[in-house]
Structures are given as structure tokens and as C-alpha cells.
Amino acid sequence: VRDFLLGFLDISGNGLDFAHCNVCKCDIDSNAYFKDADGIVCEHCKGLDGILIDNVTRAYLAKQSNTTHPLKIKSNILLADFVYMTTGVRISTHYFTEQL
């Protein structure tokens, strides 16, 4: 599911890099944030808003680590929300809730 959603973002021109800040280009090795205008940003560049992406979720979405099944589902739901925010396409969460 992760690879499908990341691929969907890439082909729609809205690819997200969970390993590097989209503003200052630093490596992100802790929590990250999603900003509608900037994509994935570090703690320093998040400003006053941004959706928190905890480090475990960020590392899984960056394909830097694997995680437990429940956390994969949580991460994929968050990624589906990012798809909606960046493209306006709502990915059905029915698939994700069936796996809980």
C-alpha cells in the first residue's frame, strides 16, 4: 500500500521525500512535519503549523525501516490523507479499516 500511494504521489507530480526537508534540504532523522505548501519539512522549518509525522512513521514512509503491522496501517492512512491534501483524490479508507 505504501509503495502504491508513494507512486501515485510521484506520478501526479506531488512526490514527498520523507528523508530530507523540502525547505532547507537537511537530512531528517527525527520527527518531520507535513505542510500543504512545502511538503515534508524538518522541525526548524515547520513554522507554526504542520502535521506531525513521528520518527517511526517517517522512517517507514522513507523506506528506511520496517515496522509492526498496526503502525504500517496508521502510516498508510496518514499517507492516504497526504494524497488527498496534495491531489484532491480521496483514497478509500475502507481497505485500511478492514485490516484493523
Which sequence spans correspond to the domains of the chain?
2-93
Domain 2-93: what homologous superfamily? Recombination protein O, C-terminal domain (1.20.1440.120)
Residue 29 pLDDT class (50, 70, 90 cuts): very high
The pLDDT value given to residue 89:
84
pTM: 0.82
Q: What is the pLDDT of residues 34-91, one digit of tens each?
A: 998 999 999 999 988 899 999 999 999 999 988 888 899 899 999 999 999 998 888 7
The pLDDT value given to residue 45:
96
**What CA–CA distances, in Å, run from 10 to 17, 43, 82, 99?**
10, 24, 12, 25
Which residue is it, cell 496508521? 74
